[in-house]
């Protein structure tokens, strides 16, 4: 296993074996088939998961795109997370939107943006927090404050009571 401790990688990197990173990366990170990344430090670029496995315990300043493989977010993603395929678990925080287009997503942590379910399987723990809109297969569902819920129509007015001073019609 390669280790980067306290150093800085400039220009990004491609992970095709076991890689533990405790330092920082200036640029994008690509995890390809056979790659296993343990990101405990910080990355100022994007993460592209073509395959393999990534455990993010540190901070990613850019966006993450998962094309396949397994992604576990225990740290923080400042940008958006796009899931095309694979298994994703969020126990940390994503500041941007999370869009599931065909993966298996489990959310235990915080999504500050929207959670968009286009396809795949999405499960949200009751203790998780979705701060933006939750849009599931073209059906918007908002999980924000109650004052942001759509207004309900007013109930119909009750019928007017009969006028007690009215005269009775003549008997027939």
Please report whether residue 94 resides in a domain: yes
Whole-number pLDDT of residue 158: 55
Please report whether residue 107 resides in a domain: yes
- pTM: predicted TM-score of the whole model, two decimal places: 0.75
Number of domains into which the chain is organized: 1
Please report whether residue 16 resides in a domain: yes
The pair of structure tokens assigned to 129 is 């927090």
The residue-averaged pLDDT of 99-105 equals: 96
* Residue-wise burial string across 82-104, b where 16 or more C-beta atoms lie within 10 A, e elsewhere: bbbbbbbbbbbbbbbbbbbeebb
The residue-averaged pLDDT of 110-139 equals: 91
Please report whether residue 172 resides in a domain: no
pLDDT band per the 50, 70, 90 thresholds, residue 148 = very low
The residue-averaged pLDDT of 142-157 equals: 43
The values of phi and psi at residue 146, to 5°, are -60, -30
Whole-number pLDDT of residue 100: 97
Please write the tens of the pLDDT for every residue from 132-145.
999 987 554 444 43
Whole-number pLDDT of residue 9: 72
The residue-averaged pLDDT of 98-105 equals: 96
CA dist 43 and 56 (Å) reads 10
The residue-averaged pLDDT of 123-150 equals: 69
């Amino acid at each position: 296993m390669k280790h980067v401790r306290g150093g800085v990688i400039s220009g990004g990197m491609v992970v095709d074996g076991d890689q533990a990173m405790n330092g920082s990366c200036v640029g994008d990170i690509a995890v390809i088939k056979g790659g296993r990344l343990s990101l405990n430090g910080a990355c100022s670029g994007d993460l592209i998961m073509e395959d393999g496995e990534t455990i993010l315990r540190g901070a990613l300043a850019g966006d993450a795109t998962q094309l396949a493989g397994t992604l576990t977010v225990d740290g923080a993603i400042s940008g958006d997370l796009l899931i095309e395929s694979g298994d994703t678990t969020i126990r940390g925080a994503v500041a941007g939107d999370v869009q599931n287009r065909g993966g298996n997503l489990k959310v235990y942590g915080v999504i500050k943006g929207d959670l968009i379910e286009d396809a795949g399987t999405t499960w949200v723990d009751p203790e998780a927090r979705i701060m933006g809109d939750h849009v599931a297969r073209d059906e918007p569902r908002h999980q924000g404050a109650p004052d942001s819920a759509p207004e309900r129509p007013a109930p119909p007015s009750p019928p007017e009571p009969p006028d007690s001073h009215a005269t009775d019609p003549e008997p027939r």
